[in-house]
Amino acid sequence: MTDRYAVIGNPIEQSKSPLIHTAFAQVTGQDIEYTKLLAPLGGFAQAVDAFRAAGGRGMNVTAPFKLDACAYATDLAPSAQMAGAVNAMKFDGDKVYAENFDGVGLVRDVVTNLGCSLRGRRVLILGAGGATRGALLPILAQAPAEVLIVNRTLAKAQALAELARQHQTDAVPVRGAGYADLGTQSFDLVFNATSASLSAELPPVPVSVFAQGALAYELAYGKGLTPFLKLAQQAGVTHLADGVGMLAEQAAEAFAWWRGVRPDTQGVIQQLTVPLV
Ligand code: NDP
C-alpha cells in the first residue's frame, strides 16, 4: 500500500518538498505519495489530526507552523528542542516523533558535498534566527576552533551563544556579538543565516571577514549571486555556495528517518541548482 506523506505550511505553493521526496522515492524504489497541505492559520493541529486519521505516516513542517509542531509533538528530539522548531514529524499510533534536520543537512552539505571540513576552523554565522538555532549544535559537533554569532539584534546573538554553551558536549568557544564588534577579524567559513537575501539586502558585514581560502555559504537558495555572495566574490572568495544542498540534505535525513533508506541527493541538487552568477 502506498504510504502518505505531506509538507504542511501557509503558504505552501512554493515548497520544493514534493518534488524532492518524489524524486527520492523513485531512486530508492519506495512506494510513497507526497503532497502539499495548506493549513489555515490557527488550524495546524486540526489539519495534522485529519491527515493522521486518513493514514498519513509523516510530515515536513514549514512556516509558520514550526513552533506549533513543537507543541503538537509527543516526543521532541534534542535537535528540535535546541532549534525551538520542528521540520519533520513521524506518526506511530498516538506517538508524534519530531525532529529538526536543518542543521545536520547544512553540515552534511558543507562537509560531504562541498568537501569543506569544519574541524579546527574559525566559523562566523550571520543571523540569530531559526536557521542558526538549528545549525549551531551540528556545527559545534564538528569541533571548529571557534564560532561567532553576529546579529543585528545583539541580545539574540548573545542568548543563542549562551544556549549553545549550555548544550554543547565539546568545549568549543561560542560568542555572540554585533556587526560593529567584527572589526577586522576574519573567518574560514562564513554562513549568511540572515533572511536579508530574501529581500536582496546585505547584512552590514565588512569585506574583511573572509579569510584567505574561505567558504562563503548563503543559506537562502535559488537566488543566484546574492548581495552576500557578491561581497564574498569582491573579497576574492572563490568557494561560494547557496543553501540548495542544505535543502536536499535535510530532506534526505527526513526520508531516511521515515523509510530506513538514505537517498542519493546529487540528482535533486542538480535539478534545483540556480547558477551563482
Ligand atoms: P528568521 O526570520 O528566523 O531569522 C532572520 C534573521 O535574519 C534574524 O537574525 C534577523 O535579525 C536577520 N536579518 C533579517 N534581515 C536582515 C538584514 N537586512 N540585515 C541583517 N540581518 C537581518 O529566519 P530563518 O533563520 O528561518 O532563515 C534565515 C535564512 O536561512 C533565510 O534566508 C532562509 O531562506 C534560509 N534557510 C534555508 C534553509 C535551507 O534548507 N537552505 C532552511 C532554513 C532557512 P534580527 O534578529 O535582528 O531581526
User: SS in 3 state form for 219-252?
Assistant: CCCCCCCCHHHHHHHHCCCCEEEECHHHHHHHHH
Pocket test for ligand 1, best of 194, 199, 223 (most atoms within 8 A of CB): 194
**What letter represents residue 66's amino acid?**
K
CATH 3.40.50.970 corresponds to the domain 3-100+247-272: no
Query: For 103-242, CATH number?
Result: 3.40.50.720
Give residue limits of the domains in the chain: 3-100+247-272, 103-242
Whether the per-residue pLDDT at 172 is higher than 80: the answer is yes
Q: Do 3-100+247-272 and 103-242 agree at the fold level?
A: yes
Phi, psi for residue 122 in degrees, rounded to 5? -90, 125
Predicted confidence (pLDDT) per residue in 53-104, tens digit: 999 999 999 999 999 999 999 999 998 999 999 999 999 999 999 999 999 9
Mean pLDDT for 171-185 is 96
Q: Which of 16, 66, 90, 95 is catalytic?
A: 66
The model's pLDDT over 202-211, given as tens digits with 9 standing for 90+, comes to 999 999 999 9
Residues 112-132: tens digit of each pLDDT = 999 999 999 999 999 999 899
- Ligand 1, atom 7: nearest CA belongs to which residue? 194
Task: Report the pLDDT value the prediction gives residue 36, as an integer from 0 to 100.
Answer: 98
Q: What percent of the chain has pLDDT over 90?
A: 96
User: Of ligand 1's atoms, which has the minimum distance to the CA of residue 153?
Assistant: 47
pLDDT-above-70 percentage for the chain: 100
Quote the mean pLDDT of the chain: 96
Tally the C-alpha atoms within 13 A of residue 79's C-alpha that lie toward its C-beta.
23
Question: Quick count: other Cβ atoms within 10 Å of Cβ 182?
Answer: 19
pTM, to two decimals:
0.96
Rounded CA gap, 119 and 170, in Å? 12
Cell numbers representing residue 43 in the block: 488550524
Task: Give me the pLDDT at residue 142, please.
Answer: 96
pLDDT of residue 170: 76
C-alpha span between 11 and 64 (Å, rounded): 8
> Mutation test of ligand 1: which of 14, 82, 109, 152 has the most ligand atoms closer than 8 Å to its C-beta?
152
* Whether residue 152 has pLDDT greater than 90: yes
pLDDT at 111: 98
Rounded Cα–Cα distance for residues 127 and 61 (Å): 21
Bridge-based pairing state of the strands 88-92 and 95-99: antiparallel
Categorize the per-residue pLDDT at 197 as very low, low, confident or very high, splitting at 50, 70 and 90: very high
Helix (H, G, I), strand (E, B) or coil at 56: strand
Q: What pLDDT does residue 62 have?
A: 95
Catalytic residue flag (residue 16) = no
Place of cell 541538487: 269
What's the mean pLDDT in 215-225? Answer: 97
Q: Which three cell numbers stand for residue 8?
A: 504542511
- How would you classify the pairing of strands 210-218 and 187-192? parallel
Query: And the C-alpha cell for 23?
Result: 524524486
pLDDT at 125: 98
